[in-house]
Amino acid sequence: MSRGVGRAGAGQGAAAALQLLVTLSFLPSVVEAQVTGVLDDCLCDVDSIDNFNTFKIFPKIKKLQERDYFRYYKVNLKRPCPFWAEDGHCSIKDCHVEPCPESKIPVGIKAGSSNKYLKVANNTKELEDCEQASKLGAINSTLSNQSREAFIDWARYDDSQDHFCELDDERSPAAQYVDLLLNPERYTGYKGPSAWRVWNSIYEENCFKPRSVYRPLNPLAPSRGEDDGESFYTWLEGLCLEKRVFYKLISGLHASINLHLCANYLLEETWGKPTWGPNMKEFKRRFDPVETKGEGPRRLKNLYFLYLIELRALSKVAPYFERSIVDLYTGNVKEDADTKTLLLNIFQDTKSFPMHFDEKSMFAGDKKGAKSLKEEFRLHFKNISRIMDCVGCDKCRLWGKLQTQGLGTALKILFSEKEIQKLPENSPSKGFQLTRQEIVALLNAFGRLSTSIKELQNFKVLLQHSR
């Protein structure tokens, strides 16, 4: 070995040793960032959620997300931002989302777009898999079968219900199917003024921030000195339950997204081959109690709170899917039956959870005041769903739209209990319906939360082993 190579090897070894020392220096504080105890505004504790998610939910929801019905999501990534002039789309290659070419979409699926609620014949053997990278798939937008007349009647019912989200028009030429498995949510490098403006608009304009609070709620905002840290959140105590819940849902969603970015980080790229994996330094920056002045653990607790809300929604909507009229149709009879069986199995697990959030405690005041507050709550969230069209990174926009729509669908379910109880067994109901887009978003959004909690546990294990 030459002297030059030896020096290079020694230099690399010293660099690696230095990196290890840097990593070890922050491990104790990161381990402390793991949250425990009872969550605010409910009677559930973190450990119970961890165990329930790890052993019951996560393995099944992961399988469900791999099923054809749930892996393809129709979305319009070209809708203009309704609030400000766009900065232009991110040019980083990892921001890119490649839709499935029209020629790759089976005829039966394309027919399903114009007959949204009709079960149409699909003569293709199976949904064709799109080839790697540039080949993204598509799926039928059809929900079920039974009677043509009933579904035509069902189709007439749409905009009369209280949507919590701005839904994409699936008939728009700009709406395209995306294979979620080939476009995983992970770190893309999207940051800076564009990302800051999106989250700033969400927190400052839509999270019921009192006028007396001057410090930005946005975690991406620069430090404001003494007003930072856990003590800042005393303002939350002065809000009503509904507004506290709203803030926690948004904070929890932000924490979940950040966890995915930390867990699927671009660690290195050699000869065009990227290596993705957990980035402990990034995790510390976002959640360590010292670096975040105590705010990191609060953000993680809000993630658990959001998980509880969506878990409750799944348990409440189970009767909708238990009816024989609901068929998760893709054209593959056996797979469709297996998919529904797996989904119903997940619903049974959600109903078995003993410490659900009680949504009846919300909007429980005088009727007029409660109705007004609920409408304000709905419109604020709908506004946030519209802000997702301002995200400059296509992949971030894709997952932002899906997860806000999933949460919006969960809220719609929680506040439609009476309508769900009145569902007829063998015919569509005019009181409560879910589109295929809402169903796919609901289950994938919950799958993202389940994955976040699992990834949080993985970080804890990784950090303990590194010590």
Q: Which residues participate in catalysis according to the annotation?
A: 393, 396
Contact call for residues 232 and 215 (beta carbons, < 8 A): yes
Q: Tell me: is residue 96 an annotated ligand-binding position.
A: no
Place of tokens 């219900």: 161
Backbone dihedral angles phi then psi of residue 19, each to the nearest 5 degrees: -60, -40
Q: Which secondary structure element, helix H or strand E, spans residue 76, and what is its range?
A: strand 72-76
CB distance 420 to 312 below 8 Å: no
N-term to C-term CA, the chain: 34
Residue 298 is labelled as binding a ligand: no
DSSP state of 124: S
Q: What are the structure tokens assigned to 8, written together?
A: 């290079």
Is 260 annotated in some ligand binding site? no
51: which residues sit within 8 A by CB, 6+ positions away?
Answer: none
- Determine which helix (DSSP H) or strand (DSSP E) holds 265, and give its type and residue range: strand 265-270
Q: Residue 158, SS3?
A: coil
Q: How many CA atoms lie within 13 A of 304 on its CB side?
A: 29
Residue 14 pairs in a beta bridge with none
Q: Which residue type, as a one-letter code, is found at position 16? A: A
Q: Is there a contact between 311 and 446 (Cβ–Cβ < 8 Å)? A: yes
Tokens 């909690």 — which residue?
453
In order, the DSSP letters of 304-368 are: HHHHHHHHHHHHHHHHHHHSTTB---SS-HHHHHHHHHHHHHHHHHHHH-SS---GGGSS-S-HH
Q: Mention every residue, 6+ apart, whose C-beta is less than 8 A from residue 80.
A: 86, 389
Token readout for 134 is 């540039």
Q: Tell me whether residue 142 is annotated as binding.
A: no
251 is in an annotated binding site: yes
User: Are the beta carbons of 456 and 300 closer than 8 angstroms?
Assistant: yes
Q: Is 276 annotated as a binding residue?
A: no
The tokens 């809300």 sit on which residue? 309
Please give the structure tokens belonging to residue 87.
């900065």
Query: Cα 9–15–18 angle (5° rounding)?
Result: 140
Residue 237: CB atoms within 10 A of its CB come to 8
Rounded-to-integer distance, Cα 350 and Cα 58, Å: 12
> Which helix (H) or strand (E) element contains residue 176?
strand 175-179
CA distance 452 to 263: 9
Residues tagged in the binding site annotation:
186, 188, 199, 251, 254, 286
Which residue positions form the known binding site for FAD?
186, 188, 199, 251, 254, 286
